[in-house]
Every structure is written in C-alpha cells, then in structure tokens.
Amino acid sequence: MISDVLLVIDLQNGVCHSKRDIDHLSELVENTNNIIQSYRIARRPIIFIRHHEEGLEQGSSAWQLLPEIDQQPTDIFLGKTHANSFFHTNLMSTLKEINAKSIEICGAQTEYCIDATVKFAHGLGFQVQMKKGATSTYDNSYMTASQTISFFEMIWKDRYLKLY
C-alpha cells in the first residue's frame, strides 16, 4: 500500500559510510530504490531529509545523499539538525501543503533519527508505515545492528506504524 508521501531520512555519505559501512547497506539501497520507484509510479511525493551538524556540514561530501539513491530534481529536499525530522524544520508545513495524512519512512539510523521521526509523526496523527528492513544502523556495545533493527521494528509494529 502506498502512503501519501515517502520520507527518505539521512541516507547520506557521512551517515552510511562512517568508520565502516552501515549494516546491510547494499540491501538498504536496493530496498529504498524499490520503494522510491513505487512512489514515482504512483506519482506520490518523495521527501529526502538530510541531517547537518559537525562532520555533516551542509554542502560537504559527507552531507550529500548516497549517489546510488534514486533522487530527482522534482523531489523535495529538507534539512534538519535534530534526530526528529519535524523539529525546527518545515516538514510539517510541507506535509500540510501536499495534504498528507499517511507517511512511509525509510533510511538511517534506526535508533536515532528514524525512531524519533516515527514516534513524532505518529503522535501528530499521521498513519505511518515502513517496509521491514528499510532502516539501518551500526553495531553498538549492547546489540548488533541487526538486533537493534529487529528490536525497534518490534516496538514500532502495530504501536507506531504498520510494518509490511
């Protein structure tokens, strides 16, 4: 099922190629491009959100979206400085402008920007959906990346979003 809009969050060089590649990067890129293609076919808007902070300076190579992600000049590009994509951005006004009631989310990192945006979007009353495995992160000192992704998908499913 296609939502009113697709949010692609932080699939940037500096996020996905830190000290090593983010977990299952090639599958994430393939899944994301497949999702993007379905939104293009349905003529639904695609919003790319880029984080900027120290190390991800706006305009730098690290800040740029992954070149292998399908992006077009007609897509919407927004910046943020906080994990929550709604915080001090014009995301909400953009969603109102296109009359979006439902949102699909994909991108990075699962436990940071994706989690914050999923929960905030849900709290604002949006119907949120996500394809299983459409986010990624890195191993941490508590869990592997795969465990983190599974853990958050379990929390989100049927509470904050529809996982398909």
Please tell me the predicted confidence (pLDDT) of residue 69: 98
Please tell me the predicted confidence (pLDDT) of residue 145: 97
C-alpha span between 71 and 101 (Å, rounded): 23
Asked whether the predicted pLDDT for residue 19 surpasses 90, the reply is no
pLDDT in tens, 77-95: 999 999 999 999 999 999 9
C-alpha span between 25 and 163 (Å, rounded): 20
pTM beyond cutoff 0.85: yes
Structural domains of the chain sorted by starting position, each given as residue range(s) with its CATH number in brackets: 5-163 (3.40.50.850)
The predicted model gives 108-129 an average pLDDT of 98
Please tell me the predicted confidence (pLDDT) of residue 127: 99
Amino acid letter for position 63: W
Residue 52: count other Cβ atoms within 10 Å of its Cβ.
17
